[in-house]
Structure 1
């Protein structure tokens, strides 16, 4: 394990060796200690997103212990030797929690990370107290976005070319990005792009996966957060999941896919209200 470093604010970032001496697996982990009260919060990022993308959101909850990490092949985490599935990411997250001495957590997942969060809640249910799913869907059995949006999402080019990111941000993310494409410049400055392979491995991990058949069995109270104008994950998916998850509530934002960034204060207020309920 390398020496830990701090970002701006209380988030401490370190490289963890979660493999063996013969087969090291270096994963970059961010940990905000918080003030020691409440249940820690585990974050699963969206596709291609590294720790820094969610760091502004983490910074708005300084009182809460929070764990976030770069998926293998993303940000500064090493590329995996073999392809993985979402269940493998859930188990990897559990190993990170073990290393930090954390047992039960609340879990929040964003977009692709929302699928990983669902996998964690299902396969490691005893460690998941409450679940927050943001701008996500029940996998391949979902209300799809348009083919043109899917085509633009199939490549990590927006992480590599700032002008391209501005030009397509409104089409992919909707909401405020339609009116102000320059928001993409501010958002993507936080992204530390690694490789095409890491991005495609994330796409492969979710291919063929669905939670549609076991969502009614989830025991965790669940908050579904969605944007009213989300071209990538249409709002109908959140409404469908709300019907399937018995202990769920739905919060809709007057925004698009990236409401956690563009409606950060409102999002944090909703997260706090849900997590702090008795």
Structure 2
């Protein structure tokens, strides 16, 4: 059990995948961020499941899912979500992705527009180059060796206690450190460390994020898209929310005050209402091969993301 919900398992391509599936109604696919798992959504699963079928998986390499030597690219994760939904008998979903999960959500919508009704990005990667130095450090050559020392029992427990104490101060700069402590704890598993490092190397280098939606954002013309951010996000700057609005003019952007990188945890009831408003006020995308062909043929000029102004 997890948060009162049963964690289920299914084996696909020889790898066991963990997920929570609860509720009835239109399907929501909730994709967690780097080093997290489905439990990051615990506070919003219950209110959302009153109206929707909520599917919250542990991405491969995370949580209770297997951590094999495997394809940890955005495309690989999108393929895995397609296969999971197929096994579960779910044809179409509204995809909601947080942080790295936002990158997976965008990739899923790009690869499988016929299965994507709406796209919601929550403090998402893929909207600009900036990212916290801690995430860039994961791709460094010595990460595994250093973390093997930092996750020794005594050191890990002291480090986690320090992070939680800083989080408890209530300062905006330290609000997310309790979640960082949980991620730090998962690194005690060498397989989890290897998986997360492969994930980061696929999307981040020493200069920052290397994968963005800039060259494909015009495709969102055919799909409802909302962007949600915490104003005090110290992991991915809130100005990336403005980048989303510039890249996809039809997207709605909502910045939540007094929230950090995990706005769905800081304000779960408000977040659930945002999701409900998104589904209630937008029509699900209907895939048209002819329209998709037209968009691809016409294309759009890439938009530079490095000069996006700060959100007011």
CA contact (8 A) 1:40 1:104 kept: yes
Q: Structure 1 residue 81: deviation in Å? A: 2.8
Change (3 A) 1:276 1:169: farther
* TM score, norm. by length of structure 2: 0.73
- Aligned counterparts of 1:257 and 1:52: Cα–Cα separation in 2: 15
CA RMSD of aligned residues (A): 3.2
Q: Could you tell me which runs of 5 or more consecutive residues in structure 1 were left unpaired when the two chains were aligned.
A: 1-5
**Equivalent position to 2:60, from 68, 72, 79:** 72
**Equivalent position to 1:198, from 176, 181, 195:** 195
- Aligned counterparts of 2:137 and 2:124: Cα–Cα separation in 1: 18
- Aligned counterparts of 1:8 and 1:261: Cα–Cα separation in 2: 14
Change (3 A) 1:103 1:187: farther
1:259 aligns with 2:253: no
Partner residue, 2:224: 221
Q: Residues 233-259 of structure 1, C-alpha deviation per residue, up to 9 Å, x if partnerless? A: 101111011111132100001121111
Query: Which structure's CA Rg is the greater one?
Result: 2
Q: Could you tell me which runs of 5 or more consecutive residues in structure 2 were left unpaired when the two chains were aligned.
A: 205-209, 283-312
Change (3 A) 1:243 1:180: closer
Q: Structure 1 residue 185: deviation in Å? A: 7.2
SS in 2 for 1:78: coil
The structure carrying a bigger helix percent of its residues is 2
Q: Residues 206-258 of structure 1, C-alpha deviation per residue, up to 9 Å, x if partnerless? A: 24422211012222111100111212110111101111113210000112111
- Aligned counterparts of 1:170 and 1:227: Cα–Cα separation in 2: 21
CA contact (8 A) 1:143 1:237 kept: no
Deviates more, 1:193-202 or 1:265-274: 193-202
- Aligned counterparts of 2:181 and 2:133: Cα–Cα separation in 1: 24
1:92 aligns with 2:80: yes
Partner residue, 1:240: 243
Partner residue, 1:31: 21
CA contact (8 A) 2:176 2:260 kept: no
1:121 aligns with 2:109: yes
Change (3 A) 1:7 1:248: same
Number of positions where the alignment pairs a residue of Structure 1 with one of Structure 2: 260
Change (3 A) 1:240 1:65: same
CA contact (8 A) 2:44 2:268 kept: yes
